Amino acid sequence: MSDIIDSASDLEELQRNAALSLMRINQSAVSATHCKECDEELPEARRIAIPGCQLCASCKEIEELRGKIRR
C-alpha cells in the first residue's frame, strides 16, 4: 500500500514543480514595445513589471479568457 502512496506523492510533486516552472517569469526576457495583437504601445511600467510581456493588458485579458473557455 505504501508503494502506491509513495508513487502518487512523487507524481504530485513532479506535477507541482512543472506547474511552478511554467509560472516563473524570466527576469532577463526582453519586453516588446508594442502589443503583438493590437499594436498599441506598451506602457513602460508594464514592460518593467512583466519582463518579456508581448501583449497589452486588454489583449492579455482576452487571451486568458479564451484559455479558460478552452479548458
From first to last of its 71 residues, what are the pLDDT tens digits of the chain? 678 888 889 899 999 888 877 677 676 788 999 999 999 999 999 998 888 899 999 999 999 999 888 76
The pLDDT value recorded for residue 43 is 94
**Which H or E element spans position 27?**
none
> Cell 512543472 maps to which residue?
18
Nearest CA to 50 out of 66, 32, 34 is that of 32
Domains of the chain: total: 1
The pLDDT value recorded for residue 1 is 60
The pLDDT value recorded for residue 59 is 95
Q: Are 50 and 25 in contact (CB under 8 A)?
A: yes
Q: Are 71 and 49 in contact (CB under 8 A)?
A: no
Residue 64 belongs to what domain range? 2-70
Whole-angstrom Cα distance, residue 29 to residue 61?
21
Model's pTM, two decimal places? 0.59
